[in-house]
Amino acid sequence: GTGSSILSALQDLFWLSKSKVEKQLQIISVLQWVLTFLIMGVACTLILMYILCTDCWAIAALYLAWLVFDWNTPKKGRRRSQWVRNWAIWRYFRDYFPIRLVKTHNLLTTRNYIFGYHPHGIMGLGAFCNFSTEATGVSQKFPGIRPYLATLAGNFRMPILRDYLMSGGICPVNRDSIDYILSKNGSGNAIIIVVGGAAESLNCTPGKNSVTLKNRKGFVKLALRHGADLVPVYSFGENEVYKQVIFEEGSWGRWVQKKFQKHIGFAPCIFHGRGLFSSNTWGLLPYPKPITTVVGEPITIPKIDNPSQGEVDFYHSIYVDSLIKLFDKYKSKFGLPETEVLEVN
C-alpha cells in the first residue's frame, strides 16, 4: 500500500545519502594524500621557521633538537605504527579507485626480499596504498612479512612529514637504509623499490605500459650483497589515473625536468586529474580508475659479498624476463588486449 511505498522511498533515499557520504569521504581521503605528497613537507618547514620567530619559539627549538637526536631513525625503518597503517581513511582511499593487491606466490618469513615496483606513475598511488597501509590486506596476504616502501631520502629531512612517512613503514631509498634493514633487522623484511624512479614518471601517460629498467641494476646488486630474493611487481592502471604533458627528448621542457631530476632528485611533471567537485573539470584529484597490483614469483638470489658485473647482469636479465612474463600472464585479466607489449627502456 501507500505506507510500503513511502517506506521504500525513504530506504532508497537513505541508501543514496549513505552512498554520497561514502563518495565524499573517498574524495577527501585521496585529496589529503595528494596534498601531503605535494606540499606537506614544504608547508611544515615554513611553519616551523615562522614559529621560531614568534613567542612560541621554544616549541620549534625543542622539535629541532629532537630532529637532530632522531636523524638516523628513518634509515633503520623504525617507528612503524600499525594504528596509522589501519586508519579507516586508507580504506576510503582504496575504494576511490579501487586499488587491489593480488598475491601469486607465498613468501617465506626466513628470507628477505626486494620488490621491484613498476611502473612509477605520477605519484605511486598503488605502491603507497598496498604497502604503506593495510587497506588491501598486505599483512594478511603475506603473513610474517614486513613491507618497507622506499622513497626519496630528501623527504625525511622535512619536519613532521618524516614522522608521518615513518608511521606507514616508509624508509629512504638509499644504500645505508637498505643495508641496515636487510642485514640488521632479521628476516621477513620486504623493501619495495620503485625502480624506474623520477625518470620513469616523465613518460607515464594513460594507455602506455613502459618501464625504465634496462640500466637500473643497483637494486640487483643490493639483492646479491644481502642474498635477498627479488620479486617483480606490476601495477596495472597506475598510469591511467593522471594525464601528463610529455616533453619530447631534446625539448626545453625535458631539459628542465632532467636538470631537476639530477640535482634535486625528482622531476617536475605537468599533469592533471579531475576537479574536486566535477569529473568534467581539471584538478589535482586522480581519475577513479582501477589499480591492480600483482606481486609475482620470488627469484631466489644467492648471497655474494662483492658481485661481479657479470653476475649482476645475469640476475638482472632473469628479473626483466620475469617481469615481462608477469605482465603477459595477467594483462588480459585487467583490461589490456593480448597484443599489448610491455616496453622496457
Determine the distance from the C-alpha atom of residue 41 to the mean position of all C-alpha atoms in its chain, rounded to a whole number: 17
CA–CA distance, 98 with 10 (Å, rounded to integer): 29
Domain limits at 307? 3-344
- Please identify which residue in the block is written with the cell numbers 619559539: 57
Give bridge partners of residue 145 from the DSSP assignment: none
- Where does residue 339 rank: exposed (0-12), middle (13-18), buried (19+ CB within 10 A)? exposed
- 25-39, 244-258, 269-283: which is most confident: 25-39
Residue 10 pLDDT > 70: no
Assess contact for 119 and 312: CB atoms under 8 A: no
pLDDT of residue 1: 53
DSSP code string of 261-284: HHHHSS----EEEE-SS-TTSEES
Residue 170 pLDDT > 60: yes
Assess contact for 307 and 213: CB atoms under 8 A: no
Residue 7 pLDDT > 60: no
The per-residue pLDDT for range 195-231, each reduced to its tens digit, is: 998 888 888 889 999 999 999 999 999 999 999 999 9
Residue among 154, 156, 100 nearest 130 (CA): 100
Q: What is the pTM of this model?
A: 0.89
CA–CA distance, 16 with 28 (Å, rounded to integer): 19
Residue among 325, 129, 137 nearest 232 (CA): 325
Share of the chain above pLDDT 70, in %: 94
How does 189-225 read in b/e, with b if 16+ C-beta sit within 10 Å? bbbbbbbbbbbbbbbbbeeebbbbbeebbebbbbbbb
pLDDT of residue 276: 85
- pLDDT classification of 278: cutoffs 50, 70, 90: confident
pLDDT of residue 147: 97
pLDDT of residue 8: 56
Determine the distance from the C-alpha atom of residue 168 to the mean position of all C-alpha atoms in its chain, rounded to a whole number: 11
Residue among 224, 232, 227 nearest 311 (CA): 224
- Please identify which residue in the block is written with the cell numbers 611502473: 119
- pLDDT classification of 108: cutoffs 50, 70, 90: very high
The per-residue pLDDT for range 22-65, each reduced to its tens digit, is: 999 999 999 999 999 889 999 999 999 999 999 999 999 999 99
pLDDT of residue 281: 87
Assess contact for 319 and 217: CB atoms under 8 A: no
Domain count of the chain? 1
